[in-house]
Amino acid sequence: MTVAAPRIRMLIDGQFIESATSHWQDVINPATQDVLAKVPFATTGEVDAAVAAAKEAFKTWRKTPIGTRARIFLKYQQLIREHMSELAHILTAEQGKTLPDAEGDVFRGLEVVEHAAAIGNLQLGELANNVANGVDTYTIMQPLGVCAGITPFNFPAMIPLWMFPMAIATGNTFILKPSEQDPMVTMRLVELALEAGIPKGVLNVVHGGEEVVNAICDHPDIKAVSFVGSTRVGTHVYNRASLAGKRVQCMMGAKNHAVVLPDANKEQTLNAMVGAAFGAAGQRCMAASTLVLVGEARNWVQDLVAKAQTLKVSAGTVAGTDVGPVISCSARERVEGLIASGVEQGAKLVLDGRKPQVDGFEKGNFVGPTIFAGVTPDMRIYQEEIFGPVLVILEAETLEDAIAMVNSNPNGNGTALFTQSGAAARKFQEDIDVGQVGINVPIPVPVPLFSFTGSRASKLGDLGPYGKQVVLFYTQTKTVTARWFDDETLSHGVNTTISLK
């Protein structure tokens, strides 16, 4: 007897409801092709209902004491910690990450929840006393209203937790649209958020694809939209939502370069590169997918290959797995097609990860670690974000040549330098035109005390997610200039100038 897959529900005005849509999509385990659940593509009316609930809830939530908001997120972070293993298992089943990597996904989101619990220190205005006789000026950081977030498949826990906790902590209400490919862990996090005390209507969830994204971008009652995902979709979201008068932040695609100088610690560098290139099956916007070997470090290719060959490819639930499946059959086919293009264009395939033998998971979407040497900037494998476990290696004579190579690439999400020279590191961080820089750190994603600062073609919008920047993104600064009179204050008469005296 076949058991029907459970249907993912939406959250509207505090209630988990089943969509009235006729369009449902399977949520697939990428390691087995088993159907885990069915996710709805919400109707326009359901999006409208979610926004209406958020708009109504904003009337009271915006005036909720900041300490009350902070305590909700103190409770929420504790609930996430208590359910860490459960959340990681759900994430692994639907996304394919190894269990340790899935826990890391949840934990990096948890750090932002902890930061949201400190909102009382983050949402402070400024005051200048006696800017004129008896006049004070001060600023108030007030919430915008209904905000929305559109999240990708590769971090179904971390990215939603980048978005709605900070938006809600600052006094806004929120519409979340998770990835339709792996929404289950997101929905479990939403359930825990309600358990922590988020009131009805303050957080709402709708599912779907392009039509739901467009409805969010166009809706007149949504004031700000946050997006993380591909450059193609992100550009569409930014243009459409901006045209509708919204604040928008879009974190998009990347081609992250790691530059290795010959004085770098060889063993530590090779370990770092293998983990950063092939971890999460290369499905990270901050993956170190491009390696630039400088000078004598060009002789390290075979050592890197040997290190990559030790990685275990299997389902994320199997102990000792280093590289799990990519998200879908179509994703695997795209990665394999790009590998074929590299061969056709003359790159040297020094490690071929296509069609690995994975016992017990023959139907899985697996691609093993793959390495190209002799890559040039005109090749597709360099120009396109592969988003799979593929590392491309380029060569440079000097650090200056490597910096010029990185800066000529249109993307600016992240970069790294491996060296033991402080002078080289300082030159690199000064001259490189990339938003996030690692020095002997392969994936330089900042902790929430700072802001995610991708740049150039990897980012649209001035302010990044989490950290101090996101507080500015989710609030409007109001400046108040005040003078109070008592009965004994002498009048200075009529003043027709704009000055304060």
Active site residue 217: no
DSSP string, 31-75: TT--EEEEEE---HHHHHHHHHHHHHHHHHHTTS-HHHHHHHHHH
360: left (phi over 0), alpha (psi -120 to 50) or beta: left
User: Are 41 and 108 within 8 A, CB to CB?
Assistant: no
Instruction: Give the C-alpha separation, 401 to 396, whole Å.
Output: 6
Instruction: Give the C-alpha separation, 282 to 325, whole Å.
Output: 10
CB burial of residue 191 (10 Å; 0-12, 13-18, 19+) = middle
Q: Is 331 helix (H, G, I), strand (E, B) or coil?
A: helix
Instruction: Give the C-alpha separation, 52 to 59, whole Å.
Output: 12
The neighbour count for residue 174, using CB atoms within 10 Å, is 30
Instruction: Give the C-alpha separation, 183 to 11, whole Å.
Output: 13
Residues in the chain: 501
User: Are 349 and 370 within 8 A, CB to CB?
Assistant: yes
Which among 217, 250, 285, 329 is annotated as catalytic? 285
Q: Give the helix/strand (H/E) hosting 350.
A: strand 348-351
Q: Which residues are catalytic?
A: 285
